[in-house]
Amino acid sequence: MLFLDHLPPFLFFTGKGGVGKTSLACATAIRLADQGKRVLLVSTDPASNVGQVFGVTIGNTVTPIDAVPGLRALEIDPQAAAQAYRDRIVGPVRGVLPETVVKGIEEQLSGACTTEIAAFDEFTALLTDAALQADYDHIVFDTAPTGHTIRLLQLPGAWSGFLEQGKGDASCLGPLAGLEKQRSQYQGAVAALSDARRTRLILVARAQRATLREVERTHEELAAIGLTQQYLVINGILPQSETSGDALAVAVWRREQAALAELPLVLRDLPTDHVPLMPFNLVGLSALRQMLSTPEVSAGDSVDAVALSDAPDLATLVDGLIGDGHGLIMLMGKGGVGKTTLAAAVAVELASRGHPVHLTTSDPAAHLAETLEGSLANLSVSRIDPRTETERYRQQVLATKGKNLDEQGRAMLEEDLRSPCTEEVAVFQAFSRVIREAGRKFVVMDTAPTGHTLLLLDATGAYHREVARQMGASGMHFTTPMMQLQDPAQTKVLIVTLAETTPVLEAANLQADLRRAGIEPWAWVVNNSLAMAKPGSPLLRRRAATELAQIDAVASRHAQRWAVVPLQPDEPVGVERLQRLTRHGTASGENITMNDETYNAEPRVPRKQEEK
């Protein structure tokens, strides 16, 4: 593997959600430790699953992986980091200042901005702590999905520059109180990230056009902030040997090969490795040790054909979503499970039934227009773009609060609005506008990957608490965005997952987080199911067989309502294919030609889903 040659101390694995960053980071850390290296594996993903992959509890402290001598792991827990950060700031003044003042400081420190800064604080310490680095030959970072990671890697420069210019009156003054002390640490982090002798970035992708386009954008954005030492790993490629006699495998293989042939020009010069699709889930040491090798699937490894014919389909769920003809439908889940595609499919199904629909996304890495690849009556599409919303918010504030300020006052306000925390407020305002619109039409929202979405909900909750505090004493009636999210008559949350151990566990954890926020998920959707697609190749049959236990767990333990969407032979792009996606039968209803033979799967009629 090229990306393993002449390794520097810091390795960053990044890419779109669901491409296998965690598995590759874990497999790399194990391989280095097996070679006698001292390795620290760090997850910066708010929805980290490193502990689940190893089958141990890790958390926010450096934890030895007993089964792998030389390997330790750490999951940066944003909430735990934020609490420790708040304690450091509030602790010295508690009992000294009046209680009302202390509560005001705590409220300032309750939002997602503080959570981001606190997690980032721990991240930069790992890059600059000489004593810690002396203990390890390599520190391997398993990062959050692309949009969140770019934000994290940009922050050292953003905060360092913000502090150098002496911006002390920012809207997030509370969080900034702790940042001034970290100026040299942030400058050191910038130096480490931009030094090719110390840092290597591994861009992880799948052999899919949309994913490779996302990697192209990531490459350019990270190069622009000085991270030029980049490698490309394309993960999970179906071997051609698996295509014999299996129409589905042929279609998947051809789709992947076409995507590889169209690799964006800027990526072709990067050192590139291909990792084959494994016939097993990448959980546990044995599986991870095989990931960077090329295991063969023999005839003895195959299982009987696996079929799942009686699961409800997505159209059945849409039947139950119609209700009063309007409302907010939010699709949530881990990155890479197909939220964007399924959000588009739900929106297209509703619009095709004559309902007005607004399809939108809060995912910085989502591209709904590319998924739809066309237009449909009754359907409008938008995106909550952080940069656009931040600029809109800045202009709004300057036009209102800055209207009557003198030149010096306006200059101070403009500097205040350059704080990286301004983005939090701007995105929350856009999110609130979308929620209000759901009172008169269907709004289908494709959310960002789990951790980023929970930060957005955290901001929504903080706003709700502040409004309730201010309005409660007056006795006035009020409705906040959080109250609308908690009302099942107004909001339906669909949790999207894959029929694999780790995604189902993460979806269950997300459901628990939502319930703590007073939001009850309405349904689960198992996407890209091989068991429903009835594959023929030995490798795909083995993977299909492992799905059955996970689908049963969703249906019997986790979900009030559920549906299964089969793996598609054709990429589900365009209105017509999205419409077919919602119903079982052939994934596309089209014949697949293979080796001059024609295959046409027989459609199946889904079982009517019963309400639980």
Catalytic residues: 18, 20-23, 45, 502
- Which residues 6+ apart lie within 8 Å of 203 measured at CB? 14, 15, 215, 218, 219, 230, 231, 232, 233, 270
Between CA 83 and CA 133 the distance in angstroms is 25
**DSSP 8-state code for residue 488:** T
Instruction: Determine contact, residues 89/177, Cβ cutoff 8 Å.
Output: yes
Between CA 134 and CA 150 the distance in angstroms is 27
Would you tell me how many other CB atoms lie within 10 Å of the CB of residue 22? Answer: 23
The closest alpha carbon to 37, from 3, 74, 75, 7, belongs to: 7
Instruction: Determine contact, residues 551/525, Cβ cutoff 8 Å.
Output: no
Q: Counting Cβ atoms within 10 Å, is residue 61 exposed (0-12), middle (13-18) or buried (19+)?
A: exposed
Virtual CA dihedral for 523, 516, 85, 49, nearest 10 degrees?
-40
H or E stretch covering 454: helix 450-472
Region of 548 (left: φ > 0; alpha: ψ -120 to 50; beta: rest) is alpha
Between CA 446 and CA 431 the distance in angstroms is 12
The closest alpha carbon to 453, from 145, 13, 23, belongs to: 145
**Which position has the token pair 């998924």?**
371
